A = this chain, B = another copy of it.
Amino acid sequence: METLLINNISEIKKSIKDWKKLNCSIGLVPTMGALHKGHASLIKKAKEMCDKVVVSIFVNPIQFGPNEDYDKYPRTIEKDKNLCEDIGVDIIFAPTPKEMYGENITLSNTELSFVCPPYNIVDCMCGKSRPGHFDGVATVVTKLFNIVEPNYAFFGQKDAQQLFIIKKFVKDLNINVEIIPCPIIRDYDGLAMSSRNTYLSEDERKRALTISQALKKIKSLYSNGITNANILFDTGISILDKNIELDYLEFRDFNTFEKVDKVKENTLVAIAAKVGKTRLIDNEIL
């Protein structure tokens, strides 16, 4: 089956309308493209659960800070299309920024409406070093939900804070989409799959591996009964390569997103760090 590549909103809405008439269930996998095995696992899950599957590919300008990698973020639409076709995706929705946000506007909150999840879960962790990032994510995800009207939307657990935030604003705003979290997919060497891994040199990749190793060690200590977050923190730090720049290593209750001193079931252990110029994140939910 051929995957349809659609760039404009009115066109995809026509397909959605036809599907709705036929009572098809619709799954949406929102991505920024540069698809890898992690995305593939989300798409496969969507295929299992839904009659029709849409993969959106959109490098969303409003979730990047002025000094971040918006311009150099990998764009590999031909390769992405092949991957989608292989899995049997019905539609790739790949709009331009102009199609999504209109012309001649600054993409700032003085001219655009934003969806703003609560500050207490937005201003910490990744949000602390990426101000405005999660408002940009929440806004584009809301737009995609309104355009595609999916029954289910699929998000990777690698972006754990994003996943928590999306579930929160979907609930707060009564959005009629069920969020399906999908487990982290790791490469052969344990590195969490990410489109940004392509930025890493061979040497950087070796150092980056200490992130997943630190998480693995924390998980194993927890399995052996150690629940003191300070002890687990120190162990994690001791495993991380000395030449990577730690942004955070945090322990949070994944039901409430509050920090915990004593680790328990459903505690999120999350790391963000810069390896060279590349910012990577990874986590485990215990």
Across the interface, A113 reaches (CB within 8 A) one of B110, B112, B138, namely: B138
Establish whether residues B110 and A172, one from each chain, have CB atoms under 8 Å apart when the complex forms.
Answer: no
Within the oligomer, what is the number of copies of this chain?
2
A109 touches B (CB below 8 Å): yes
**What residues of B have a CB within 8 angstroms of the CB of A120 in the complex?**
110-111
Q: Mark A102-123, 1 if CB is under 8 A from B, else 0.
A: 0000000111111111111000
**What residues of B have a CB within 8 angstroms of the CB of A109 in the complex?**
116, 118-119
Beyond known contacts A109-B118, A139-B173, A143-B173: 19 more, CB 8 A cutoff: A9-B174, A110-B118, A110-B120, A111-B118, A112-B118, A112-B172, A113-B115, A113-B118, A113-B138, A113-B168, A113-B172, A113-B173, A114-B116, A115-B115, A115-B173, A142-B173, A143-B174, A146-B173, A146-B174
User: Which residues of A are in contact with B by a Cβ distance under 8 Å?
Assistant: 9, 109-120, 138-139, 142-143, 146-147, 149, 168-169, 172-176
23 A-B residue pairings within 8 Å (CB atoms): A9-B174, A109-B116, A109-B118, A110-B118, A110-B119, A110-B120, A111-B118, A112-B118, A113-B115, A113-B118, A113-B138, A113-B168, A114-B115, A114-B116, A115-B173, A142-B173, A143-B173, A143-B174, A146-B173, A146-B175, A146-B176, A147-B174, A149-B176
